[in-house]
Amino acid sequence: MTHTESTPPRSNRLPVVAVRLLKGVIHRDDDLALWGDLLDLQNRLRDHMAVLGLDLFLDEAEGYAFLKSFPSPEDETETVPRLVARRPLSYPVSLLLALLRRKLAEADASGGDLRLVVSLEDLLEMVRTFLPERRDEAKVLDRIGEHARKIADLGFLRPLKGNGSGKEQRYEVRRILKAFVDAQWLSEFDARLEAYRATGTAMPEGAGDA
């Protein structure tokens, strides 16, 4: 049996998986063959990536894997340059991430479908409490759409095929969100939300998203 260019022999799969990891998150549901190779080669991948100052974060239960930088030792004068850049997030994007993380937790607690799908209308309803009154809903929906596309670019939402338009646009919430928005992150963000509520300040527009 001959191997095609798109499916190299298993002995050559290490660089293929390594490059895919360097490009971004690997999801089990996106490529089962690649996921199988990643599981088989995970120990060798960890050794290879450690040379670059990167650690392999692998969640077999949830089905995703990505690379993250090792924390720099405080007593080390020369640190390895970061290959995985940190991206500052605007307040609206952070708010949506927090609300999506909660919705994902609620879906898990209900024992329903592990696949969480939301529409732009769902996102609008989620943030409506934080919006000032008498806001032009069409403009707000456009802005929510921009934030949703940003979150999709970050890998936390996936646009669904055959998507509708306007409020009917739908996204799957990727479960990797659980790895980035943890209990501590939510707690810190909750404190900010309470501060906004206490002062009666509405959600800012937040230009300049990461």
Q: What are phi and psi of 117, to 5 degrees?
A: -120, 135
Report pLDDT digits (tens) over 64-112: 998 888 765 554 444 544 545 566 778 788 888 888 988 888 888 887 6
Q: How confident is the model at residue 195 (pLDDT cuts 50, 70, 90)?
A: low
Sheet strands (E) in the chain:
26-27, 54-59, 64-69, 116-119, 157-159, 170-173
Q: What sections of 51-136 are H helices per DSSP?
A: 91-110, 120-127
pLDDT of 118 above 80: yes
Letter for the amino acid at 41? L
Mean pLDDT of 104-129: 84
Q: How confident is the model at residue 40 (pLDDT cuts 50, 70, 90)?
A: very high
Average pLDDT, the chain: 77
Instruction: Tell me yes or no: is domain 91-199 CATH 1.25.10.
Output: no
Sign of the dihedral defined by the CA atoms of residues 104, 108, 65, 63, in that order:
negative
Query: Could you state, in order of their start, the residue ranges of all structural domains in the chain?
Result: 10-69, 91-199
Report pLDDT digits (tens) over 127-169: 887 776 656 777 888 888 999 999 998 889 999 876 666 677 8
3-state percent breakdown (helix, strand, coil) of the chain, nearest 5:
50, 10, 40
User: For residue 5, what pLDDT is reported?
Assistant: 46
Sheet holding 170-173, edge to edge: 116-119, 170-173, 157-159
C-alpha closest to that of 207 among 149, 148, 147: 147
pLDDT of 53 above 90: no
Q: Any idea which of 18-22, 27-31, 163-167 has the lowest mean pLDDT?
A: 163-167
User: For residue 153, what pLDDT is reported?
Assistant: 86
Torsion region of 208: left, alpha or beta (phi above 0 gives left; psi -120 to 50 gives alpha): left
Contact 99, 118 (CB under 8 A): no
pLDDT of 43 above 80: yes
Instruction: Tell me yes or no: is domain 10-69 CATH 1.20.120.
Output: no
Share of the chain above pLDDT 70, in %: 72
Q: How confident is the model at residue 183 (pLDDT cuts 50, 70, 90)?
A: confident
Q: Hey, what are 186's tokens?
A: 């939510």
